[in-house]
Structure 1
Amino acid sequence: MNIVNRLTLRHLKENKRRTLVTIIGTIISVAMVTAVATLAVSFLDLMQRGEIENSGEWHVQFNEVNASQIDELRESPLIDDLFIQKDSGFSLLEGSQQDYRPYLFIKNFSEGSFDRFPISIVEGRLPENNGEIIVSREIEAIAGVKFDIGEEIVLEIGDRYSEIEDIYGMDDTFSFRREDGENKETLENITAETFTVVGVMERPNWETPWSPGYTVISYLDEGELTPDTTVRASVIFEKLNRSFYENAEKLAEDNQISLEQVNYNRNLLMYYGVSRNEGAIGALYGISGVIITIIIIGSVALIYNAFAISVSERSRHLGMLSSVGATKRQKRNSVFFEGAVIGLISIPIGIISGIGGIAVTFTFINSIMSDIFATSEKLETVVTSGSILTACIISIITIFISTYLPARKASKISAIDAIRQTTDVKLSRKAVKTSKIVRKLFGMEAEIGLKNLKRNKRKYKVTVFSLVISIILFLSVSYFTHALEKSTGMWLADINYDIQVYLGEDLTAEDELIVEAITQLEDITEFSKIKRMSLSSWVEEEKVSDPLLEMDDGVDHEIKGPEEEYYYQITIHGFNDAYLEEYSEVIGADLARLNDPAQLGAIIIDTISYQDWDTGQFVETDSIKLQIGDTIDLYHIDWHTEDATLMETLETEVLTDIYPMGVGSRYPGTLDIIVSDQVFQELVHSSEEIQMEVSNYLYINSSDPTETHQQIDELITGSMSIYNYHEMREQDGQFMLIMSIFVYGFIVLITLISVANIFNTISTSISLRKREFAMLKSVGMTPKSFRKMIHYESIFYGIKSLLYGLPISIGIMYLMYYFIADGFSFGFDIPWGSIIIVIIAVFSIVSVTMLYSTSKVRKENIIDTLKQENI
């Protein structure tokens, strides 16, 4: 090791506080880069495993393929694995206590399918031949029918058929058809098969709450397939890349498979980074790029300031080296060597800290997920060579950038300039001139404080730069959090309840007693009872939402209405009094006017969130452009004659974007209107035809949705039916909780870097101004005046940093919004709450740091301090 490097090490040891702050700041930045990389890999791993648990491990399914097509598919070099399934059909479940779920739905799985689909055996074993079957535990829990292991059952399997709707075949996605309390479905093409029950499983995740049949699974022997038998082939591709969808479609075409018979496991593919929604992928990469850039900028700012201050402190030292023959290269390399030493210490510790921090965070999150969500999938710390290498490269680049400019400056320091310190202080009268207004408004202390900042302009700029970076870091991440919540809310906006109970069309007195009993259940925390009907309206062009104007079929020419006005499908929701009162308080509506049938006042939901299936983009926009007091004409349409009859005219009382419980987001051309029960009855009584088209619903939130579901099952009768959406909401809540913890954890790390940055810069700057403070005290500045001067300096720092930081932050927010808008379209709004927090935090941090730093020099002896030539 040469003498220059030895002197550099000695300098680091002598300045332990600054060296320690630099090392800690570098460790935090390296840890954050490592944590972000590890988090990304681990989170994708969780989402992949979670989706496999939910829908199975497959990439694409080819429906209605025969044995010869299966053989051709298996020979394709694109395919890694192929396994088959077959839907046999429905069989009536004798003794079922659920009128709306009267069937068993029989699926047949090949041997390979059992390993790839989420089938959880509770008791017994999987089927091993065609005559064996496993049943769902839900059949006993919900339908009240118990099958014992070893029991032999005969199932008459057929296709669903309904006259009231176009249902024919084995479709399990449509609810059971009933009308006026009577069944409107039958089974056709019935064949009898005998099975032995060999196992009991948990309800499969792919079975929807509204499914008309309980899933049972039998064995499918591929060797017994006839040439005419068609099955579903589930395929796992050898490689997943951006050409996946094109390859899958070409594979289907080469094997004469209609593209309509091709299904994709889109969520799983998206978590593997394969998506047709280029907007979502663009948003992901764009936001990731902005976040990584923010981390690098924050790290560079911290480490650069440390090295810049180090060079300033070492200016005379470097000048002395130059006077005894040190070359420019040696002086420059001394700074690079300092950076290398910091890096060798910080990078390994930072990587270990980042991985360890994420592991501890995952442990905490997993305990929450286990206690609240009862999920079997846990976050696992996935460390890849790629993530570690990425963290190392970014950290090395960050340290290099941070040391480059100070190293160049060090190489240019001459012996004379360094010893005289002419580069540190260059003053002119103009340079320290201040406005007379400052002294008049704030006094002499403010003027001296401002002159001090101007006199130490370089350090002043470094401190302001640190504050600006801190402001940008915090506001950028805050906006990212806000945008994430907004976009996720758009994605998951449709369901804001745990349980939906369909009550039927015409409630009897007995039905009302059942509803009353349901709402009195112990675990129910909130409910809304809704009467709902569909009407129509035509709206003038200037009041129509922009997406509807852009649609080719915006003006409905088939249905006779006012000329050149746009057709709207209106859904009227009549709420029970108690819930409407709560909702009115939230949105600021006048309940008395809403309850007055003579007023016919209404609440208009004027904002919709929907996914544009052409672009894959989630869009938030106006549903209609109305003002308070505007009216809407309601029409009833006879769909046989297409004649429209004007019913009533509603007046707009309130416009809101807050959806009440049980009302989900819609599409352009639809409008949700909320009215009181009294106004709803006034509308219904205006036409006998409307009275026949009213549906009644009950929406429930519960502290124990599973128990509440079972209790409601025992109460409902006739045409009532229940749908439990709790699991879907549970997954949504889990996603939001995890993302919130990660994002706010990221904000904490950002704040640590920012505070370390500001503290390091200001405290070092104050330390270097010991002689200046001693001189001021020597000419009569009192402790009170000294404190006032420091306070004013803090204020000047804060004001200057905010003047730069806020506009730049808003610009970066808009850049992030631009990337997010590729996948989610909503208006750009500024998080004013975060800006207020930043303003308070900036002045607080600067003030506290300066007071702490000055407290260290306040007790210095004036004479001893003035004698020191370099501090």
Structure 2
Amino acid sequence: MNVKNRKCIRKLSLKSLYANRRRNLIAIFAIALTTLLFTSMFTIVLSLNASYETYQFRQVGGYAHGTFKDVSPEQAERITAHPKVKATGARKVIGITAEGVFAKIPAEISYMDANCTKWSYATPTTGRMPESGKEVAMDTAALQLLGVTPELGAEVTVSYSITDKDQTAFTVTDTFTLVGYWDYDELMPVHYINISRDYADDIEAQAVKTGLQPFRTDLNVMMASGTNIQGQMEQVDTDLGYTWDSYTDPNSVRIGVNWGYTSSQLESQLDPELVIAIAAFLLLVIFTGYLIIYNIFQISVAGDIRFYGLLKTIGTTPRQIKRIIRQQALLLCLIGIPAGLLVGYGIGAVLVPVVLRSTQLDAGITTISTSPVIFVGSVLFALLTVLLSCSKPGKMAARVSPVEATKYTDAMQTKKKQRSTRGAKLHQMAFANLGRNKKKTVLVVVSLALSVTLFNALCAFVGGFSMEKYVSFMTCADFIVSTPDYFRYNPADEFITPEQIEEIAANTKASLSGTGYAVRKPAYLWMTEDALRQDYARYESAEQLDSHMSRLEHRGNMVMGDTRIEALDNSLFDKLQVFDGDISPMLEPDNNAIAIAVSLDDYGNLPNPEYYPKVGDTITATYADDVKYIDSRTGELRTEDTPEEYFQAKLYGARDVEYTVCALVELPNSMSYRYGGIGYDVVLSVDTAQRDSGGAAIPMLYLFDTADEVDEAEAEQYLSKLTAGEFSPLMYESKATARSEFAQFRQMFLLIGGILCAIIGLVGLLNFFNAMMTGILSRRREFAVLQAVGMTNRQLKTMLIYEGLFYAISSVAAAFILSLAVGPLAGKMLGSMFWFFEYRFTILPVLLTIPVFLLLGWLIPCMMYDNAAKCSVVEQLRDAQ
């Protein structure tokens, strides 16, 4: 028979809840603290991510999800109409200026529509966007460089090169009317000079008349979701019948994903270790909240077990008892969760700027996230934790019989009782009290040990960051000096000059110095067809690849491929990491030795050894004075009407040089061309390169190390002054900058981890506090009886202090064991995630917590007992009935 008694059960639940107001406050505080843990964690993580993404967007130049590149008007219209595309913004670049005042930070001259302007941080804060004719909008820094005061209506004269795709036509100097401007963002990679569509179309028409192809239009897009951007954009191409992986297919619409989005980076870097680490972290947080709330509900149910037994005698079912406990938990959540949300979000909002101030992200971009994920996620996790926590105590209350309930005590039954004739010792009594409810004791010890273990893991994690590895990866020398073209990865006819190198050398004290040279005449290296196919396969389909390979010059199974030859002064060969072979033959005069630059992974392994020639092999390089493309059908120079499949390179003044591969080396990126491409990267001595290229090796960079910190500081000061200002032709990078970035990175982890440890430690302390307090409250009758038979207040207090100290010592011992077990496993996982991490076992943080825990083990029982002992023994006996 189904009895409608939900209202009665609800009323009973409310009355029971109201009768235990003090215990309810503890439960509410525990729920609020657990919610605070989730909320502050989500707020910090999502706010840091939002700030990081904003920082990345500003470096990229915008926050559109991605770009469909070089689209026709018809393609743009079809892409815009696709259901996965939420919004689009078009941009047409017509030119660039990278000389004079714009030598360090170039300026792009382009037309942007309203959406593209917004997404590119180029919306005028004063004035408006260009609408017609020679109207222009630009940032204030660019105006200052041009010597123009930011005033609407001012005349702005700009000289720029008409440049699009890989074609350059002519230089234009025009005077525009300023109709809008905005403050310059120092993180932006370029200055945007925005023009009207009319002007862009007019310049394009002039360029086409000179033989150029029509300018490209890129379509920036916002997709339906910010996750799996790459997959969504590929799906759009597939649905519309386009390909996205070819530079030559006329039906190809290539795509570019904004790498500033964290989701884009995770999708490309996601591996099992990272997934496991994230899952383990979330489980740890949930378990931490579970420990405290479960302990509270378990103690609460144990205290009310006689009440539940009486309910069962009058017909209450186990299911109804579970419902009573669950309703009480949910009612407490109505107070605890909102409080935790508010306080947790406030703590997160306060801590985020503190964390950011220690990082390079602190550039006026602190973003406090208001994502619904923070609040919805925190509520769901808190509710899940509460429901899991009250589930087992509810089963215990539902399972107990009325007879067992009347005899129930907090102690667990033991198989055998031992008698002693020597009298009771206080420490023995305290130790025995901990064993009365082993489950509760274990929960308290584990919750305290978790915070210590996490703190120890954090110290091991941060202490394992190798500054030497990080700095050596970022730069291979104390100082590297060159022109802006080099640091912006632009090919140039001239970089740093010998005169500039001499001036720098004369004003700095170097323990090692040298110059890296670029070969500035056409040079090719003959390589196997299989190796060259590996390079081209990244950009072309199989059919296009076969066509391309057929147009290249062959000698048997060898194909003439592009190459990048870098020549080094002999002193710089010490900077190379030799993977195989020996570089000493390259130091001999009149040598014909060459080193192949290989790409090693973050751990020093060569992922594709079959791609490279072997040490001892003989390879041929072809140098030329010039190269032009001809029509393979006629042998004449190609024209704009020549189909691409008939393009063929013709070398003028070609000559072959045979080299012996003496070594496979890793060339530090910081002293290389800094960009890759098709074919091998190789290293020669400067004398050999000058001899074989006909004197075409030009200085590309100058680097040097210093003997000590004093010399390094003086060089830093000198180079800082030398390269200051927009008109300086030189730029430099130094190890000091890399060290600063490393320190900021390390400090960020230390702060975030320290905050998490503090919150989890607070949870553990609350569990300790709650266990001691509820233990004292539930044993008031026992304490009163002990006092009645002669135990003094001092002895009783000492016994409780022993209990607290046992808790503390047990927690430290458990943390020590957990650290021994978890440390090496966590170190291995972190080592696979962070290439500059070196695990070093440490137990010092655990040892440092011993005096803190001993103090708490003494202080908390004293406070609890002094509060509980205000009543007389008679009153305690009466209250305990």
Under TM normalisation by the shorter chain, which class is it? Answer: 0.5 to 0.7
Q: What residue in structure 1 maps to residue 387 of structure 2?
A: 400
Unmatched 5+ stretches in structure 2: 1-5, 248-252, 484-495, 515-570, 583-599, 620-658, 678-682, 693-700
Determine helix, strand or coil for the equivalent of 1:676: coil
Question: In the TM superposition, what is the alpha-carbon distance from 1:265 to its structure 2 partner?
Answer: 3.8
1:230 pairs, out of 215, 237, 246, with 215
Q: What residue in structure 1 maps to residue 604 of structure 2?
A: 547
Query: Does the 8 A contact of 1:132 with 1:195 survive in 2?
Result: no
Instruction: Please list the CA deviations of residues 125-178 of structure 1 after superposition, one character each: whole Å capped at 9, or x if unmatched.
Output: 533335333455445656878798533637363569xxxxxxx967xxxxxxxx
Residues 258 and 407 of structure 1: CA distance in aligned 2, closer, same or farther (over 3 Å): closer
Greater shift, 332-341 or 545-554, is seen at: 545-554
Residue 291 in structure 1 maps to residue 329 in structure 2? no
1:450 pairs, out of 431, 439, 442, with 431
- CA separation in 1, counterparts of 2:361 and 2:219? 33
Greater shift, 405-414 or 217-226, is seen at: 217-226
2:573 pairs, out of 525, 535, 542, with 535
Residues 23 and 831 of structure 1: CA distance in aligned 2, closer, same or farther (over 3 Å): farther
Residue 23 in structure 1 maps to residue 23 in structure 2? no
Pairing of 1:195-210 with structure 2 (within 5 A): 195-198=175-178, 199-203=180-184, 208=189
2:370 pairs, out of 374, 379, 382, with 382
Pairing of 1:690-769 with structure 2 (within 5 A): 700=716, 713=724, 720-721=730-731, 743-769=753-779
Determine helix, strand or coil for the equivalent of 2:285: helix
Please, what is the CA RMSD of the aligned residues? 5.7
- CA separation in 1, counterparts of 2:220 and 2:10? 61
Greater shift, 792-801 or 240-249, is seen at: 240-249
- CA separation in 1, counterparts of 2:499 and 2:272? 51
Question: In the TM superposition, what is the alpha-carbon distance from 1:528 to its structure 2 partner?
Answer: 10
Determine helix, strand or coil for the equivalent of 2:605: helix
Query: Does the 8 A contact of 1:35 with 1:357 survive in 2?
Result: yes
Question: In the TM superposition, what is the alpha-carbon distance from 1:15 to its structure 2 partner?
Answer: 3.8
Residue 853 in structure 1 maps to residue 868 in structure 2? no
Q: What residue in structure 1 maps to residue 155 of structure 2?
A: 151
Determine helix, strand or coil for the equivalent of 1:61: strand
Question: In the TM superposition, what is the alpha-carbon distance from 1:23 to its structure 2 partner?
Answer: 1.1
1:835 pairs, out of 846, 854, 858, with 846
- CA separation in 1, counterparts of 2:214 and 2:329? 70
Unmatched 5+ stretches in structure 1: 161-167, 171-187, 517-526, 574-609, 614-633, 644-662, 664-671, 681-695, 703-707
Q: What residue in structure 2 maps to residue 594 of structure 1?
A: none
Give the letter aligned to residue 266 of structure 1: N
Query: Does the 8 A contact of 1:539 with 1:568 survive in 2?
Result: yes
Question: In the TM superposition, what is the alpha-carbon distance from 1:2 to its structure 2 partner?
Answer: 6.9
Question: In the TM superposition, what is the alpha-carbon distance from 1:462 to its structure 2 partner?
Answer: 0.8
Residue 267 in structure 1 maps to residue 259 in structure 2? yes
Question: In the TM superposition, what is the alpha-carbon distance from 1:778 to its structure 2 partner?
Answer: 5.8
Residue 240 in structure 1 maps to residue 244 in structure 2? no
Question: In the TM superposition, what is the alpha-carbon distance from 1:761 to its structure 2 partner?
Answer: 0.9
Question: In the TM superposition, what is the alpha-carbon distance from 1:559 to its structure 2 partner?
Answer: 8.8
- CA separation in 1, counterparts of 2:106 and 2:331? 72
Question: In the TM superposition, what is the alpha-carbon distance from 1:382 to its structure 2 partner?
Answer: 1.4
- CA separation in 2, counterparts of 1:23 and 1:108? 59
Give the letter aligned to residue 463 of structure 1: T
Residues 108 and 570 of structure 1: CA distance in aligned 2, closer, same or farther (over 3 Å): closer
Give the letter aligned to residue 259 of structure 2: N
Residue 640 in structure 1 maps to residue 651 in structure 2? no
Residue 410 in structure 1 maps to residue 397 in structure 2? yes
Question: In the TM superposition, what is the alpha-carbon distance from 1:310 to its structure 2 partner?
Answer: 1.8
Q: What residue in structure 1 maps to residue 326 of structure 2?
A: 336
- CA separation in 2, counterparts of 1:397 and 1:297? 11
Instruction: Please list the CA deviations of residues 785-841 of structure 1 after superposition, one character each: whole Å capped at 9, or x if unmatched.
Output: 555544443333233334444444665666766776675344444564543344444
Q: What residue in structure 2 maps to residue 676 of structure 1?
A: 707
- CA separation in 1, counterparts of 2:105 and 2:297? 75
Determine helix, strand or coil for the equivalent of 2:283: helix
Query: Does the 8 A contact of 2:44 with 2:351 survive in 1?
Result: no
- CA separation in 2, counterparts of 1:66 and 1:195? 30
Q: What residue in structure 1 maps to residue 810 of structure 2?
A: 800
Query: Does the 8 A contact of 1:142 with 1:713 survive in 2?
Result: no
Q: What residue in structure 2 maps to residue 126 of structure 1?
A: 129
- CA separation in 1, counterparts of 2:147 and 2:734? 18
Q: What residue in structure 2 maps to residue 683 of structure 1?
A: none
Q: What residue in structure 2 maps to residue 691 of structure 1?
A: none
Query: Does the 8 A contact of 1:339 with 1:403 survive in 2?
Result: yes
Pairing of 1:514-593 with structure 2 (within 5 A): 531-532=513-514, 534-536=572-574, 547-548=604-605, 552=609, 553=612, 556-557=615-616, 567=665, 569=667
Question: In the TM superposition, what is the alpha-carbon distance from 1:759 to its structure 2 partner?
Answer: 0.5
- CA separation in 1, counterparts of 2:148 and 2:617? 50
Residues 497 and 675 of structure 1: CA distance in aligned 2, closer, same or farther (over 3 Å): closer
- CA separation in 2, counterparts of 1:124 and 1:252? 38
Instruction: Please list the CA deviations of residues 675-699 of structure 1 after superposition, one character each: whole Å capped at 9, or x if unmatched.
Output: 7389x9xxxxxxxxxxxxxxx9987
- CA separation in 1, counterparts of 2:380 and 2:56? 32
Query: Does the 8 A contact of 1:155 with 1:192 survive in 2?
Result: yes
Residues 432 and 241 of structure 1: CA distance in aligned 2, closer, same or farther (over 3 Å): farther
Residue 59 in structure 1 maps to residue 65 in structure 2? yes
Q: What residue in structure 1 maps to residue 408 of structure 2?
A: 421
- CA separation in 2, counterparts of 1:428 and 1:250? 68
Pairing of 1:74-153 with structure 2 (within 5 A): 74=80, 76-90=82-96, 96=100, 106-110=109-113, 112-119=115-122, 121=124, 125-139=128-142, 150-151=154-155, 153=157
Query: Does the 8 A contact of 1:470 with 1:751 survive in 2?
Result: yes
Determine helix, strand or coil for the equivalent of 1:231: coil
Instruction: Please list the CA deviations of residues 52-103 of structure 1 after superposition, one character each: whole Å capped at 9, or x if unmatched.
Output: 444213233344445555455445444344433344345586xx579x6598
Residues 863 and 86 of structure 1: CA distance in aligned 2, closer, same or farther (over 3 Å): closer
Give the letter aligned to residue 63 of structure 2: E
Determine helix, strand or coil for the equivalent of 1:382: coil
Question: In the TM superposition, what is the alpha-carbon distance from 1:734 to its structure 2 partner?
Answer: 8.5
Query: Does the 8 A contact of 1:35 with 1:355 survive in 2?
Result: yes
Question: In the TM superposition, what is the alpha-carbon distance from 1:557 to its structure 2 partner?
Answer: 4.3
Give the letter aligned to residue 119 of structure 2: R
Determine helix, strand or coil for the equivalent of 2:131: coil
- CA separation in 2, counterparts of 1:358 and 1:152? 46
Residues 15 and 638 of structure 1: CA distance in aligned 2, closer, same or farther (over 3 Å): same
Query: Does the 8 A contact of 1:497 with 1:699 survive in 2?
Result: no
Query: Does the 8 A contact of 1:499 with 1:709 survive in 2?
Result: no
- CA separation in 2, counterparts of 1:806 and 1:756? 21
Query: Does the 8 A contact of 1:97 with 1:143 survive in 2?
Result: yes
- CA separation in 1, counterparts of 2:160 and 2:863? 83
TM-score (norm 1): 0.65
Question: In the TM superposition, what is the alpha-carbon distance from 1:847 to its structure 2 partner?
Answer: 2.6
Give the letter aligned to residue 219 of structure 1: S
Q: What residue in structure 1 maps to residue 634 of structure 2?
A: none
Give the letter aligned to residue 379 of structure 1: T
